[in-house]
Chain A
Amino acid sequence: MSLLVKGGRLVDPASGTDEIMDIFIEGEKILKIGKNINLPAKKIIDATGSVVIPGLIDMHTHLRDPGREDEETIRSGTLAAARGGFTTICCMPNTSPVIDDPSLVHYILRRAEKEGVIEVLPIASITKNEEGKVLSEMGRLRRAGAVSFSDDGKWVSDAHLMRRALEYVKMLDLPLISHCEDDDLSKDGVINEGFFSTVLGLPGIPREAEEIAVFRDICLTRLARSSLHIAHISTVNSLNLVREAKKRGIKVTCEVTPHHFTLSEELVRSFDTNTKVNPPLRDKDDVRAMQEGLKDGSIEVIATDHAPHSPEEKELGYTLAPFGIIGLETALGLVIKELIKPGILTLSKAIAKLTVNPARILNLDRGRIREEGLANLAIFNLNEEWKVKKEDFLSLSKNSPFVGWTLPGKVKWTIFKGKVVYQC
C-alpha cells in the first residue's frame, strides 16, 4: 500500500523543516520526502493549504481500561486521540487494577494492537498499587514495554521511597513522572485556594501543595542524580522552581495541560464540574506564567491529562465529582488558538512540545518526519475553525469545559503507520 501526501506545508520541528513538501509513504514507513514527488501511489492525499506535522504524542492520557470501560476503552480513547491528531499516547497506570505488573503492560499493548487505531504506550506505577509503600518491578515493567513510571493521581509522599525510586530508575535510562501534590496540604480541597474558594465556600487547594512537592522532588532528583518529569505544572512558583533547577543542571522537565494555559479559576463560579480538575484551575497570573514558561522553553511539553469521567459521576456536585476533563480532541485547537495565533509560540515550537520533546524525554523514536521513519502524520488546516460539540466527541466521555467553543486548526487526516486512521 502506497500513499502520497501532496502539497502540504511540512513542519517538522526536529529537523527545523518548514516548507511545502510531498511525502511518499510505502507500507508503514516514509520512503521519500521532497518537492513534487511523482511516484505512482495507490492513494493520494491533497494536502494543499494544510500543515503536515509528525503525529502528535500525548505523554499524559488516562484510558479507563481496565476497570471503567464505560468511561473510555482503548478503542474509544485511540479514536479520540486520532481525531485530535495524535498517533502516540502514553496511558497512566491509575486504572483498576493499577498497571504495576508486567502482565498488565502486556494487556494494554495487546489490547491496543487489537482494537486501537494508534499507538498506546503504557506508563507503569512507581509503587505497587500506587500505594506509595513498595516499589513496582520497574525493570520487568520496562522490559514488558512500559515507557515510564508514575503514580499519577497521587504523590509519592514518602521521601525515602521516592529517593530510591529516582535512583533505581537510572538504570533504565528513564525519568520518573511525578504528580506533585502534597495531599496533607491539599486535603479535601477541590478548587484553587483564594478569593473564589472563600466566596463559593468550596474547600481550597493552596498553590503551596504543588510547590512543596515540586521542591522536594527536585531536591531528591539532585540527591539521586536522576531525572524527573513533573506532570501538569500549574503555578508561577512551581515554574520558577523548575527554572532554578534547570539552571543548576538538575535534570528536570515539565509539562502543562491546555486547560492550565487557557482557563482560570473564575470559571468555577458556574459550579460546572467540568471545571473541576487537579491541579485546579489557577488565576490569570498563573495562566500567563504557563504561557511564558512555554515561550521561554522552561516547559518542554504540552500534555492533555485527558481524564474521562461518566456524566453520573460528574453530576455528583462539586465536592463529590471526580477531578478531570477530557482533552485529546481539543488540545491542538487550543494550542493554536491560545499560543500560536497570539504569537506566544511559533508553529514549529508549539508542535515540538507535542512531538519531538516528549519523544526525547521518554527516549522514543517518534515525533519526527524523516525518510525511513514511521509514517505517523497529522494533517490539519491552521485556519479552518470548528465548533466543539458534545455529540462529536469520539471519547466515550464528554466531560469538557470547552463544549461550545470555536477552535481553529481542524485536523483533516491522521495517518498512523501509513494508514489513514482519521479523516474528517
Chain B
Amino acid sequence: MSFKRKDLLGIEDLSPEEIYFILDTAKSFRQILDRSIKKVPTLRGKTVANLFFEPSTRTRISFELAAKRLNADVVSFSSSTSSVVKGESLLDTVKNIMAMRVDCFILRHPTPGAPHILAKNLPISVINAGDGSHEHPTQALLDLYTIREKRGKFKDLQVVIIGDIAHSRVARSDIWALSKLGAKVRICGPPTLIPPQIEKMGVKVFYSVKEAIRGVDVVMMLRIQKERQNKCFFPSLREYREFFSLNEERLGLAKSGAMLMHPGPVNRGIELPVSLVDGKRSVILNQVTNGIAVRMAVLYLLLGRKR
C-alpha cells in the first residue's frame, strides 16, 4: 500500500486502506511528540501555506505545529469571511501566493468545495482544513486515531454524534470515516438540525439523547453555534441544553467506560458541563495532541516524495 494522492480533500473518497495507512503513519509521528526534541527533518526545505478564511485557532495552530515539527517552513494567512471582498476570486489570491513558491496549501474556507477548486486548478498539494459544512478530514482522522488508541478496532463499535449535524463538517467526515471502517454511527439532535436523507449515509437518526446514547462506546458532542437560535433552528439555548446537552445521567446510559469526545472548542455549560469536559471519560485533550501527529502524517504523505 502506498499513498498516491496529491491532495486530501475529504474522507468520502478515501478507501479504508488509505485511512489505515494514514493512521499507521501517524503512529510513528505520535512517538516523536513525546520526545524532548519534538522535531524531525522530514520536510526540510518545503513551504506550507496556511490559508484560513474563517476564524480558527486550534486547527490553524495544530497544522502550523505539525508542519514545523517536520521542519517545513510555514506561512499563515488569516482573513475573516467579511474581509474577503466579494469579487476577489480565491483562485487569484492563491495563485499569487503560489508564485512565491510554496509546496502546499492548507485551506479553511466557508464555501464547500473551495479546496476542490484549488486542487483541480493548481499543481501543488491542497489539504482541506474545513470547507463550510462539507468536510473536515483531518479532524475525522484524529478522531479515528483517538478511538483506535483506546479501543483498538472499529468493527461494530457504536458511536453517537450529538448536536448540530446539519451545519457540521466534522459530523460528515466522521460519519464517512467511521462507517468505512465498520463502526455503527448514530446521530442525534433537534430535527431542524438533522439534514435531509442523512440516513442514506448509513446512520441511524435519533431525536432523544437518552435513546441515542444507550449502549454506545463513543459519545461525540458537537459545538452548538449560539447564532443558530435566532434562525429558528431551535427556540432558545435554555431549551437546547435541556434536551440535547450531555450530563452524568445521560452519559451513564452509554457502555461503561465509554469515551467522550468533542472537536472543540467546547461551549462549556451548554453542550457539555465542565465536570464532564475534565472528567475521566473525556479524551478531548488526547484528540488535540493526536491531531498534530495525524496532520504530520498527512503532510508527510502528501509532500514527502517526488512530484
**Contacting residue for B196 out of A204, A317, A319, CB 8 A:** A204
CB within 8 Å for A317 and B113 given contacts A198-B198, A201-B135: yes
B89 to chain A, nearest CB (A): 4
Nearest CB of A to B244, in Å = 20
Contacts of A193 in B (CB 8 A): 196
* B150 sits at the interface (CB 8 A): no
Q: Which of these binds chain A: B104-112, B178-186, B258-266? A: B104-112
Q: Is B172 an interface residue (CB 8 A)?
A: yes
CB distance from A323 to the nearest CB of B (A): 15
Q: Which of B87, B117, B172, B197 contacts A201 (CB 8 A)?
A: B172
Docked-complex contact A271 and B117, CB < 8 angstroms:
yes
Q: How far is the CB of A24 from chain B (nearest CB, A)?
A: 53
Docked CA distance A202–B166 (Å): 10
Q: Mark B113-141, 1 if CB is under 8 A from A, else 0.
A: 11011000000000000011111000000
B91-A197 in contact (CB<8A): no
**Contact (A201, B169) CB under 8 Å given A316-B86, A317-B109, A318-B113:** yes
Instruction: Specify which chain A residues have a CB less than 8 angstroms from the CB of B172 in the assembled complex.
Output: 199, 201
Q: Which residues of A contact B116 (CB under 8 A)?
A: 270-271
Residue in contact with A320 in the complex, picked from B86, B196, B201, CB distance below 8 Å: B86
Residues of B within 8 A of A195 (CB): 196-197, 200
Contacts of A365 in B (CB 8 A): none
Interface of A is mostly: loop
Most chain A CB inside 10 Å of its own CB: which residue of B109, B112, B133 = B112
Cβ-defined partner of A317 (8 Å) among B12, B114, B169: B114
In the bound assembly, the distance between CA atoms of A199 and B11 in angstroms comes to: 11
| A172 touches B (CB below 8 Å) | no
Q: How far is the CA of A193 from the CA of B12 in the complex (A)?
A: 19
In the bound assembly, the distance between CA atoms of A66 and B31 in angstroms comes to: 65
| Interface membership of B61, Cβ < 8 A | no
Contact with A along B145-176 (1 / 0, CB 8 A): 00000000000000000000001010010000
A191 (CB) vs chain B CBs: closest residue:
B112
Is the Cβ of B90 less than 8 Å from the Cβ of A197?
A: no
A194 within 8 A of B: yes
Show 15 A/B contacts (Cβ-Cβ < 8 Å), sorted by A: A197-B195, A197-B196, A198-B196, A199-B201, A201-B134, A201-B135, A202-B112, A202-B133, A202-B134, A270-B116, A271-B112, A271-B113, A315-B117, A316-B90, A317-B113
Which 9 A-B residue pairs are closest in the complex by CB-CB distance?
A271-B113, A201-B133, A317-B111, A201-B134, A198-B195, A315-B89, A195-B197, A201-B112, A271-B116
